[in-house]
Amino acid sequence: MKKVLFVAMVSSAILYAQVGISTPNPQGAFHVDAGKDNSFSGAPTAAQQQNDFVVTSAGNIGVGTIVPNAKVEINSGTANVSGLRFTNLTSATPVSTGQTIGVDASGRVVTLPNPTATNTTTAEVASVTGANFNVNDLAYTLIPGSSQIINIPTGGKAVFINFMLGIDYITFPAGSGAAYYQATLFIDGVASNVYLKTQERLAPSRQTQYTLSAVKFLTAGNHTLDVRMIRSNNIGTTSGANMSCLPISMSFNASYIN
């Protein structure tokens, strides 16, 4: 009878004791010190915990930590390295459907909103000819047919803007032959930093071309985009004298990603 009672007492003690493997000082319900470097008393240091595996009384599992604050917590010991690796799930794995996951500020794995499909909104206009207009060095002149209105949704958008213009020179002012003419993109009546200069051409090539492209952030609402010309350098041309011009082609495109 004494032997039976002794076995029963030992079995009861094991059922309620902390179990340590390679450590006489377990810090949880089940504690493995793989490196066999923990002290006989007190909590192991952060460095000693790196080779430890713990299951707490709350059922939390810690790898590299003896105080896991989640059902599974891994401390790799290296900043910006998770310590978690999937052998059969890599960057080469084919894309599948499911929920996107990430980590929050404390390192907990959380679900994230799946990205929505994007689409592009585009405004396009093309014209062949327009009315004659005069250009001088005193002020900008709007190129007929270039004024376009686009509507931007709530929140604003980064808009890709492109104008392509072909301009004929009709009547040359006194002293002309070497002057420079500049085309500038205007947004809501204000000159932008998008412009192009060309030197005037005499017969037989009495024309010029301008291509203005830019990405500009526009706020929500309607915006007017247009191109205006000015003689930026007279170089012998009489100041204030007009160059008569004719737009022979105009292509406009404005696009943004929703």
The residue ranges of every structural domain in the chain are 8-79, 120-257
Q: What does each C-alpha distance from 126 to 31, 130, 164 come to in angstroms?
A: 75, 11, 9
The β-bridge relationship of strands 72-74 and 221-233 is unpaired
What's the pLDDT score for residue 4?
A: 47
Beta bridge partners of 165: 210, 250
Query: CATH 2.60.120.260: does it fit domain 120-257?
Result: no
If you count them, how many residues does the chain have? 258
Query: Which tens digits make up the pLDDT trace of 46-84?
Result: 999 999 999 999 999 999 999 999 999 999 999 999 999
- What does pTM read for this prediction? 0.62
Question: What is the torsion angle, in degrees rounded to the nearest 10, for the CA atoms of residue 67, residue 69, residue 73 and residue 76?
Answer: -60
Q: How far apart are the first and last CA of the chain?
A: 83
Asked if residues 74 and 81 have their Cβ atoms less than 8 Å apart, the reply is: no
Query: Which tens digits make up the pLDDT trace of 110-169?
Result: 998 887 777 888 888 888 667 999 999 999 999 999 999 999 999 999 999 999 999 999
Asked if residues 210 and 227 have their Cβ atoms less than 8 Å apart, the reply is: yes
Q: Please name the amino acid found at residue 129.
A: T
Q: Please name the amino acid found at residue 179.
A: A
What's the pLDDT score for residue 130?
A: 78
Q: Is the pLDDT of residue 98 over 70?
A: yes
CA-CA distance, 185 to 225, in Å (whole number)?
A: 7
Q: What is the mean pLDDT of the chain?
A: 90
Q: What percent of the chain has pLDDT over 70?
A: 92
